Amino acid sequence: MTENLPISRALNAGLRRALETNDRVLLMGEDIGPLGGVFRVTEGLQNDFGPRRVIDSPLAESGIVGTAIGLAMGGFRPVLEIQFDGFVFPAFDQITSQLAKITNRHEGGVQMPVVIRIPYGGHIGAVEHHQESPEAYFTHTAGLRVVSPSTANDAYWMIQQAIESPDPVIFLEPKAKYWQKGEVDTEAPALPLHASRIVRRGTDVTLVGHGAMVTTLLQAAALAESEGTSCEVIDLRSLSPVDYGPLLDSIRRTGRMVYAQEAPGFTSLGSEIAATVMERAFFALEAPVLRVSGFDVPFPPAKLEGTYLPDADRILEAVDRSLAY
């Protein structure tokens, strides 16, 4: 069956299906009960599954993650909501020092099936601590899986796949796209959790990104086509591990690549992608891998976010530079 849903409702439907399928799945977070979360992703779930499975937690992110670690040790599969990206840092020690390392510490004898949902990124005109792109902190941490859907169909299936994972998953939700609608096939997932995918075919330049940036890349590709340049667009989907196969195959066809992200460019995911592509496909490249990113400053106030965040024009400028080599 196919439904047309915004990403927020697709996530809600995916969480509902996980709760129905496995009674060891629990949801925890601030205001996720009667309110349904800040972005209403969990709306109606406490009413249907009760407060023992959809738990309104205290305002204590470190406590939420610490409790989830204990629940996972007891055989549960906790799914945590962090209200905003900037609020995850009080829990950073629990995530990086404990959650990510316990399975290795016990030589595989203790699994940590914990999902941490984090609305991230800009484009909503929010205040400080409510617009961040913290993915590099988590992709740098061994023991964590990190994923980010860009479509409603991926949101529906990837949240379920993340919950089924035996390892902890950082699930980054592009908050600016919560209301973006798309077709959701509720019969079967299109791809595994950690697979990248080509969302637009092209021949001249490969454009790569994740989350909300995929929409911007598609906009840039459409504008480039009107100027006679054919761009292939790849949605990374999984940030750790990275599925390099489709990416490298594309670069071997186009010879050029531009990576775009909202996060600052210095020591970022884009840095790692660029370095790996240069190592593994150097002789296929006709130009250096170029990156378009947020600037290396704190995320600015709302009136300046349009200058800070990469847009289609900045991506097109990088495409032109790549073609000029």
Q: CA 155 → CA 77, 126, 147, 180, 206, distances in Å?
A: 18, 23, 10, 11, 24
In a domain, 191, yes or no: no
Would you state the pLDDT for residue 304? 87
Domain boundary among 142, 163, 185: 185
Domain boundary among 160, 185, 210: 185
Residues 164 and 28 occupy one common structural domain: yes
User: Which tokens belong to 108?
Assistant: 């595989």
* Residue 122 near residue 262 (C-beta atoms within 8 A): yes
Would you state the pLDDT for residue 211? 95
Q: Which of 253, 260, 250 is nearest to 319 (CA)?
A: 260
Taking 50 as the pLDDT cut, the residues of the chain under it are: none
* Residue 208 near residue 322 (C-beta atoms within 8 A): no
d(CA 268, CA 134): 9
State the residue for tokens 């023991």: 143
Domain at 262, CATH number: 3.40.50.920
Domain at 163, CATH number: 3.40.50.970
Would you state the pLDDT for residue 230? 97
From 123, 130, 194, 210, the catalytic residue: 130
Residues 181 and 203 occupy one common structural domain: no
d(CA 210, CA 124): 18
Phi, psi of 17 (to 5 degrees): -65, -40
Residues spanned by the domain of 205 = 197-324
Residues 24 and 162 occupy one common structural domain: yes
* Residue 176 near residue 124 (C-beta atoms within 8 A): yes
Domain boundary among 185, 220, 237: 185
pTM of the model as a whole: 0.96
Residues 168 and 214 occupy one common structural domain: no
d(CA 140, CA 46): 34
Residues 12 and 101 occupy one common structural domain: yes
Q: Model confidence over 173-221: pLDDT tens digits?
A: 999 999 999 999 999 888 999 999 999 999 999 999 999 999 999 999 9
Tell me the average pLDDT of the chain: 95
Would you state the pLDDT for residue 124? 73
Residues 178 and 302 occupy one common structural domain: no
Would you state the pLDDT for residue 130? 80
Catalytic site includes residue 130: yes
Would you state the pLDDT for residue 295? 93
Q: Model confidence over 251-290: pLDDT tens digits?
A: 999 999 999 999 999 999 999 999 999 999 999 999 999 9
d(CA 204, CA 209): 17
Would you state the pLDDT for residue 284? 97
Residues 165 and 223 occupy one common structural domain: no
At a CB cut-off of 8 Å and minimum separation 6, what does 159 contact? 11, 14, 15, 18, 79, 115, 117, 149, 171
**Domain total of the chain:** 2
Residues 290 and 147 occupy one common structural domain: no
d(CA 292, CA 319): 10
In a domain, 124, yes or no: yes
